[in-house]
C-alpha cells in the first residue's frame, strides 16, 4: 500500500512536471509571438507596393465572377483611392471633368445647390439664391437620402452632382432628411438654367448699406467695390450677408477682406510641402471704407465665405451674427492626368490670421441668432386723430393712388430692404440693430 502510494505520487509528480514544462514552452512561445507582434511592421518599398497592387488587379481580372476590363479595374481603383483620401478629393473621369468645366463657366442646367460630404452623407451646403432648389424649399444642412429614388449612400459627390445636373425643364425627385423633421421629405424640382448673380446691393433706411454675396466668382471684388463707392457719401454702416454662400475663388475672398482691412494677414494656406505654403496680406491701398461692419453667417456659409468672416473677426473689424459656419477649410487643386481626365486633390489647409483652422470646426458668430421671423404685434384696426378727421369720400378717392404706391414699393424692393423683409429675418434685424448701435458709438 505504501509502495503504491509512492508510485502514485511519483506518477503525479511526472505529470505536474510535464504540465509545467509544456506551460513554460507555451508561455515562451506566446511571449515570442507577442514580442514579434509589437515589432514595427516593415514598410513596403515603392516597388513592392506596386507589385502588390498589380497582383490584386491580376487576380480580380482572372477570377472575378464578372468580366471586367483592365481599364475599368484601374478606374475603379483610382476612384476608390481618391475618395478615401478625404471628402473633397476625387478622380474625375471625362464626364466629371467636363461637368466641372461647365460649372466653372457659371451657366448650366441644374438645381442650384452646392453639396458636400458631412459625417459620411451627401449634405446641402447651401441653395443658390433664386434657383429652382431655393424656390422649392431646399435648405442648408438637408441630407440628400435619395435622388430619383436611388440611394446616395454609396455615391460620390461627383456622381450625385452629375445626376442632379441635366436638361433645363426636366424634373428630378429628391428625398431629404431635415433636422427637426420626423420623416424624410420628398421634393420635386424642375431643372433650370443656373446663372449666378453673385452680388446684390440694397439700402436700409438712409445710411445703412446691405451687400449680399451669394458666391465668390471672378467679379465679386469689382462688384462690391462699385457698390460701396456708389453709396459711400451716405453710408454710415454696412451689413455683409454671406449666409448660404458656398464659397468659390480664393483671390476674391482675399480681395473682399482687403476692402475692409488695411494691414495684416488675411489668410494663410499650409500643405505638406513648403511650396504649397502661402500667406495673403492686406494692403492699405485696397481699403475702401472703415465704417462699422456686421457680417451675417450660417451653416451654409462655407470655404471662401468662412475665410472672409473669420478673417474679419480675427481683425476685430466686424461683428459676426447668425450661426456656426459649415467648416470647409481645405484647398483643392484640379490636376489633369490626360486631355480628358483629371484628379481633384486636397493640397493644403486654410488658417485664419490668429492661426486657427476652419476645417471641420467652422467660424463661430460673435452673437448667435437662429433663423426665424421677428414677432410683431399688428393692430390693423387702430385709429389716429388724423384718421377721424378724414371724410369717407376722400378715402375712397385715394384707392387708386394706394394701388400705384404698392406697385412702386414692389419695384423699390429690388434696391431697398423694407420693414416687411426685415421682420421676416430676425438675423438681419439683429444685424441692423447692432450697426445702429455701432454708428452711435462711433459718432460720439
pLDDT score of 80: 92
pLDDT score of 159: 84
Taking only the tens place, the pLDDT of each residue in 302-353 is 999 999 999 999 999 999 999 999 999 998 888 999 989 999 999 889 999 9
- Separation of alpha carbons 434 and 426, rounded Å: 12
- CB neighbours (10 Å) of residue 433? 12
328 is catalytic: yes
| Chain centroid to CA 102 | 20
| Annotated catalytic residue, options 139, 202, 328, 429 | 328
Cell 481683425: give the residue: 315
Average of per-residue pLDDT across 277-286: 96
410 is catalytic: no
Cell 473689424: give the residue: 317
| Annotated catalytic residue, options 159, 258, 314, 425 | 314
How far the first Cα of the chain sits from its last, in Å, is 116
Cell 478673417: give the residue: 311
> What interhelical angle do 250-260 and 220-231 show, nearest 10?
20
- Separation of alpha carbons 124 and 402, rounded Å: 42
The answer to whether 330 and 86 are in contact (CB under 8 A) is: yes
CATH 3.10.20.30 assigned to 199-368: no
| More reliable by pLDDT, 204 or 396 | 204
Of the candidates 261, 398, 250, which has an alpha carbon nearest to the alpha carbon of residue 330? 250
pLDDT score of 14: 42
Say what the alpha-carbon torsion angle 188, 193, 199, 203 is, to the nearest 10 degrees.
-70
Taking only Cα atoms into account, the Rg of the chain, rounded to an integer number of angstroms, comes to 32
Residues 6+ away with beta carbon under 8 Å from 334: 92, 100, 342, 343, 344
| Chain centroid to CA 291 | 29
Average of per-residue pLDDT across 142-158: 90
Question: Bridge-partner residues for 269, per DSSP?
Answer: 278, 350
Say what the alpha-carbon torsion angle 419, 422, 426, 432 is, to the nearest 10 degrees.
-90
Of the candidates 349, 363, 240, which has an alpha carbon nearest to the alpha carbon of residue 292? 240
| Annotated catalytic residue, options 303, 305, 309, 330 | 303
CATH 1.10.10.60 assigned to 93-195: no
Domain ranges of the chain: 93-195, 199-368
- CB neighbours (10 Å) of residue 19? 10
Q: What is the pTM of this model?
A: 0.72
pLDDT score of 151: 94
314 is catalytic: yes
- CA distances 131 to 110, 177, 291, Å, are 9, 20, 32
Taking only the tens place, the pLDDT of each residue in 14-54 is 444 444 444 445 445 555 555 555 566 678 899 999 999 99
Cell 462690391: give the residue: 224
pLDDT score of 106: 54
Amino acid at each position: 500500500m505504501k509502495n503504491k502510494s509512492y508510485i502514485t505520487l511519483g506518477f503525479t509528480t511526472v505529470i505536474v512536471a510535464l504540465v509545467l514544462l509544456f506551460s513554460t514552452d507555451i508561455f515562451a512561445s506566446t511571449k515570442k509571438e507577442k514580442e514579434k507582434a509589437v515589432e514595427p511592421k516593415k514598410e513596403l518599398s515603392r516597388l513592392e507596393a506596386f507589385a502588390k497592387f498589380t497582383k490584386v488587379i491580376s487576380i480580380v481580372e482572372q477570377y472575378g465572377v464578372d468580366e471586367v476590363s483592365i481599364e475599368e479595374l484601374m478606374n475603379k481603383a483610382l476612384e476608390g483611392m481618391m475618395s478615401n483620401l478625404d471628402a473633397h478629393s476625387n478622380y474625375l473621369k471625362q464626364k466629371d471633368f467636363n461637368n466641372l468645366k461647365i460649372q466653372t463657366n457659371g451657366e448650366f442646367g441644374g438645381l442650384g445647390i452646392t453639396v458636400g460630404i458631412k459625417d459620411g452623407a451627401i449634405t446641402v451646403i447651401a441653395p443658390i439664391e433664386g434657383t429652382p432648389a431655393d424656390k422649392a424649399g431646399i435648405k442648408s444642412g438637408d441630407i440628400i437620402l435619395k435622388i430619383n429614388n436611388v440611394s446616395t449612400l454609396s455615391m460620390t459627390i461627383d456622381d450625385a452632382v452629375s445626376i442632379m445636373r441635366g436638361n433645363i425643364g426636366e424634373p428630378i425627385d429628391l428625398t431629404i432628411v431635415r433636422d427637426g423633421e420626423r420623416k424624410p421629405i420628398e421634393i420635386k424640382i424642375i431643372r433650370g438654367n443656373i446663372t449666378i448673380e453673385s452680388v446684390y446691393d440694397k439700402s436700409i433706411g438712409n445710411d445703412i448699406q446691405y451687400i449680399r454675396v451669394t458666391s465668390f466668382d471672378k467679379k465679386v471684388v469689382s462688384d462690391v467695390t462699385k457698390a460701396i463707392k456708389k453709396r459711400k457719401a451716405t453710408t454710415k454702416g454696412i451689413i455683409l450677408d454671406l449666409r448660404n454662400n458656398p464659397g468659390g475663388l480664393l483671390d476674391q475672398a482675399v480681395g473682399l477682406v482687403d476692402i475692409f482691412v488695411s494691414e495684416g494677414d488675411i489668410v494663410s494656406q499650409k500643405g505638406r510641402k513648403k511650396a504649397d505654403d502661402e500667406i495673403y496680406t492686406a494692403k492699405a491701398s485696397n481699403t475702401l471704407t472703415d465704417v462699422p461692419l456686421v457680417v451675417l453667417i450660417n451653416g451654409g456659409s462655407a470655404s471662401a465665405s468662412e475665410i472672409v468672416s473669420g478673417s474679419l473677426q480675427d481683425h476685430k473689424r466686424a461683428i459676426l451674427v447668425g450661426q456656426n459656419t459649415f467648416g470647409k477649410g481645405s484647398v483643392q487643386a484640379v490636376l489633369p492626368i490626360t486631355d480628358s481626365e483629371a484628379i481633384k486633390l486636397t493640397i493644403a489647409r486654410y488658417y485664419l490670421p490668429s492661426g486657427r483652422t476652419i476645417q471641420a470646426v467652422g467660424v463661430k458668430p460673435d452673437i448667435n441668432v437662429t433663423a426665424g421671423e421677428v414677432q410683431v404685434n399688428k393692430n390693423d384696426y387702430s385709429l389716429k386723430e388724423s384718421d377721424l378727421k378724414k371724410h369717407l369720400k376722400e378715402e375712397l378717392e385715394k384707392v387708386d393712388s394706394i394701388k400705384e404706391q404698392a406697385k412702386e414699393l414692389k419695384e423699390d424692393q429690388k434696391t431697398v430692404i423694407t420693414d416687411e423683409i426685415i421682420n421676416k429675418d430676425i438675423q438681419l434685424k439683429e444685424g441692423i440693430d447692432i450697426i445702429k448701435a455701432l454708428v452711435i458709438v462711433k459718432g460720439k
